[in-house]
Amino acid sequence: QVFSIDSGEPRGALAADPPLAPTDEFLAELESDSLKLESATPQEILKWAVDRFAPKFTMATAFGPEGMTIIHMLAEIAPDTPVFNLETGYQFKETLDLRERVKQRYGIEVEYKLPDTTVAEYEAMHGGPLYETNPNQCCFDRKLRVLHESAKGWHAWASAIRRDQSPDRAKAPIVGWDKKFQLVKVSPLANWTKKDVWSLITKHDIPYNPLHDQGYPSVGCQPCTRAVKVGEDERAGRWAGFQKTECGLHSS
């Protein structure tokens, strides 16, 4: 059952079963809802998304501080929401350990979504690690392709992006149609700052990646992440040496 944000009344068939090829009417509805949700709290946005799209609502997480914050909120609002992680085979052990910590703390089992080749197979195919020469292709094969497959059948997913993280993310709506993955993207933390996220983590002792205490504000795959120096941008440690700051999941 889905409800209107304004009236609390059940919505029509269109809203109950959003088309994979969205109509103008559906896009206009999303735009309107997004504007109304600008002043809502992340918890209210998540509640709205769950009411609106569950059981076709999911979340992809890289176990970053923002993602952990959303998992914490989902555990209170809708703990049955399926959560998955793109396990490229190159993630830090500290990141992978968070899957168990989330299970212990919240009872939520984060599902790993895997590429169709192991790291060894992939590197053998390319004569070595592709992240050293062509990280865009590596991210495409080991993240984007997997997410495209994983997004099928869902109507909406929660994203942990903040608008102040990068120019690419600055205009992200709270709710919008994700053309790349053909589902609705909900960004409950779009208006939050890094300080807001860490305040909540500290207040509720939310599990987080210990690498954040060792100079890694943004953690991706191990080969493509380095610690940043004081004063550097928080994503400066991602794909250092390449003209690349995004894996492509959130750019249009």
Q: Which residues participate in catalysis according to the annotation?
A: 247
- Cα separation, 87 vs 80, in Å, equals 21
Nearest distance from residue 51's CB to ligand SF4, in Å?
A: 34
Q: Can you tell me which of 48, 57, 84, 131 binds ligand SF4, judged by CB under 6 A?
A: 131
In the region spanning residues 193 to 252, those forming contacts with ligand SF4, defined by CB under 6 A, are: 220-221, 223-224, 247
Q: Can you tell me which of 138, 158, 161, 189 binds ligand SF4, judged by CB under 6 A?
A: 138
Would you say 210 or 223 has its CB closer to ligand SF4? Answer: 223
Q: Among candidates 117, 159, 120, which has minimal Cα distance to 141? A: 117
Q: Can you tell me which of 88, 150, 191, 209 binds ligand SF4, judged by CB under 6 A?
A: 88
Site string (45-84) toward ligand SF4, x via CB under 6 A: ----------------------------------------
Which burial class, exposed, middle or buried, applies to 241 when counting CB atoms under 10 A from its CB (0-12, 13-18, 19+)?
A: exposed
Q: Does 147 bind ligand SF4 (CB under 6 A)?
A: no
**How many chain residues touch ligand SF4 (CB under 6 A)?**
13
Nearest distance from residue 26's CB to ligand SF4, in Å?
A: 32
Question: Is residue 87 annotated as involved in ligand binding?
Answer: no
Per DSSP, the residues of 132-162 read: GT-HHHHHIIIIIHHHHHHHTT-SEEE----
Would you say 105 or 169 has its CB closer to ligand SF4? Answer: 169
- Cα separation, 68 vs 187, in Å, equals 14
Question: Is residue 139 annotated as involved in ligand binding?
Answer: yes
Q: Which residue has the tokens 């088309």?
A: 19
C-alpha separations of 148 from 35, 82, 113, 151, 182 in Å: 27, 16, 11, 5, 9
Q: Can you tell me which of 99, 143, 162, 185 binds ligand SF4, judged by CB under 6 A?
A: 143
- Cα separation, 214 vs 64, in Å, equals 14
Would you say 69 or 88 has its CB closer to ligand SF4? Answer: 88
Would you say 34 or 88 has its CB closer to ligand SF4? Answer: 88
8: left (phi over 0), alpha (psi -120 to 50) or beta: left
Would you say 82 or 220 has its CB closer to ligand SF4? Answer: 220
Question: Is residue 221 annotated as involved in ligand binding?
Answer: yes
**Residues in contact with 144: Cβ distance below 8 Å, sequence separation at least 6, in sequence order:** 247, 248, 249
Of 105-113, 132-140, 169-177, 182-190, the segment contacting ligand SF4 by CB under 6 A is 132-140
- Cα separation, 237 vs 115, in Å, equals 24
SS3 43: helix
Q: Among candidates 65, 87, 83, which has minimal Cα distance to 209? A: 65
Residues marked as binding for [4Fe-4S] cluster? 138-139, 221, 224
Residues making contact with ligand SF4 (CB under 6 A): 88, 90, 131, 135, 138-139, 142-143, 220-221, 223-224, 247
